[in-house]
Chain A
């Protein structure tokens, strides 16, 4: 209790921002049509996955190029427990998170024990995610390449987490999970383990000289990260009701997860959320521009893939202008304004 009150006091500004963001986001469904609400729910799912990535790569500095591994494991855990054993997704999400954490420990121990760093660690995580994708593609028990479809139920079913007439409930539930994850990262940032993660990220030798066990610190980061991203993957199953190995383990998923904190601001509390919102908005904008361009651009109408090209170009410009993310850019601007 004492520690809780310390946390509240020392992080009051972060928590106030969280309250404001949640308040605004929770009334959003009133203003959005069903399609946009769906988009918004997807944004929140990937923001949650990105928060997980941010703990390992932003806080502890171990760049993962394969977070689809955790995302997919969470998604499959929820799907298999529900379809084969009728286990409620409420429990499935927790189990999925634990599977992600345990897998993170194993992969982390194998890689960090043998000193994998930087690009080599990133490649190892990429390889692990690909291994899982190929394995799941070939295991009949797991639906192989066909994947798993969650059977629809009639009416509202809180045990199976399916809701007939509205997607708003899903939106609010994932928003709640996101809020919990943000509070968790605020707590990590203020605590000893967070301080140790930053130290290991900046200089492992100096960290060890101050009594920090770098291996242990990285393993803790890996398991927390795996847990959060796996829960996001589990929710992906619940929301889209269909998964296959390429959809949840694909390299595209890993890239989607890591782009969000990089665009928003790596190692910050709000970077993953801001990045998720901005990238989704950008994606929708370029898509609608190509689908329905203004008169003077009518020649691009319906040009397949052009929206992706535009998206990529804008992304390149953003990374050049703000290599430390949107939050980093704002921080620099504010500092310049002060001096």
Chain B
């Protein structure tokens, strides 16, 4: 198994609050690594560091053989590590198609090719019926899919998905899970943060548990749910994996 992303001993404090403490992990090619942990555990901060949105106080990030911890977000995105935002950030004044087009232009200059790429990404994410709608008036479920389609249009090697299921109805969530699975089958590795336990257990190849900024445990979903420290910190006594 080749490692595509390596995070080594990363720490970050905000004033007196240690948001992330000496966290390290590997992401393998084609793998989905899920992050769980209570609110405020430091998951999004860790994502922000990996994506270059905030600098780490210490530690290293290596993506596809290159050190990226000092790079700017757009430089990291160009290497092929692209994130979505927990609070979605659509380009409100543009249509859905124009939104996805922005991502598609990253690796192709020709408008005709970029158009085709955008149409394809909208098809995969089920956005085709909304192509010419303004991004402004869309429901949350559609905006979450748009966030994903736009990121996917850049031909990423690794996607960072920050709570793409949060706020969705069970039906919408199930559709989104199918979309994420099909993206993984297309060869994209992923880090995902999710609170919907059944979903993340079913999607992830491995799970990392973050608690008070520290990596509490990392391993296969079946191992994680049996880990007594995880049960105590986050899952609660009665938790069982939901049937697939």
> Is there an interface contact between A205 and B93, defined as CB atoms closer than 8 Å?
no
Most buried by B among A6, A190, A195, A209: A209
Q: Which of A153-173 contact B (CB under 8 A)?
A: none
B94 at interface by CB-CB < 8 Å: yes
> Is there an interface contact between A195 and B74, defined as CB atoms closer than 8 Å?
no
Q: Which of B65-119 contact A (CB under 8 A)?
A: 72-74, 77-78, 82-85, 89-94, 98, 101-103, 105-106, 109-112, 114-115
> Is there an interface contact between B102 and A10, defined as CB atoms closer than 8 Å?
no
B49 at interface by CB-CB < 8 Å: no
Q: Which interface class (under 10, 10 to 19, 20 to 34, 35 or more) fits B?
A: 20 to 34
Q: What is the total of A-B residue contacts with beta carbons within 8 Å?
A: 88
**Residues from chain A with Cβ under 8 Å of B82 in the complex:** 209-211
Most buried by B among A192, A201, A213: A192
Interface of A is mostly: helix
**Residues from chain A with Cβ under 8 Å of B98 in the complex:** 195, 198
Q: Which interface class (under 10, 10 to 19, 20 to 34, 35 or more) fits A?
A: 20 to 34
> Is there an interface contact between A208 and B74, defined as CB atoms closer than 8 Å?
yes
A7 nearest CB neighbor, chain B only: B111
B141 at interface by CB-CB < 8 Å: no
**Given contact pairs A192-B109, A195-B105, A209 touches B94 in the complex (Cβ within 8 A):** no
**Residues from chain A with Cβ under 8 Å of B115 in the complex:** 10
> Is there an interface contact between A198 and B102, defined as CB atoms closer than 8 Å?
yes
> Is there an interface contact between B93 and A211, defined as CB atoms closer than 8 Å?
no
A211's contact among B91, B92, B154, by CB below 8 Å, is which? Answer: B154
Nearest-neighbour CB distance to chain B for A207, whole angstroms, equals 7
> Is there an interface contact between B73 and A208, defined as CB atoms closer than 8 Å?
yes
* 0 or 1 for each of A173-216: is its CB under 8 Å from B? (1 = yes): 00000000000000000111001101101110111111111100
**Residues from chain A with Cβ under 8 Å of B109 in the complex:** 191-192
B124 at interface by CB-CB < 8 Å: no
B102's contact among A3, A212, A213, by CB below 8 Å, is which? Answer: A212
Q: How far is the CA of A169 from the CA of B73 in the complex (A)?
A: 52
A202's contact among B53, B77, B94, by CB below 8 Å, is which? Answer: B94
Q: Which of A196-240 contact B (CB under 8 A)?
A: 196, 198-199, 201-203, 205-214
**Given contact pairs A192-B109, A202-B94, A203-B89, A209 touches B77 in the complex (Cβ within 8 A):** yes
**Given contact pairs A10-B111, A195-B98, A207-B102, A212 touches B89 in the complex (Cβ within 8 A):** no
On A, residues with C-beta under 8 Å from B are 3, 6-7, 10, 190-192, 195-196, 198-199, 201-203, 205-214, 267
New contact pairs (19) apart from A202-B90, A210-B82, CB-CB < 8 Å: A7-B111, A192-B109, A196-B102, A198-B94, A198-B102, A199-B94, A202-B92, A203-B89, A205-B89, A206-B89, A208-B73, A208-B77, A209-B85, A210-B106, A211-B74, A211-B106, A212-B74, A213-B72, A267-B93
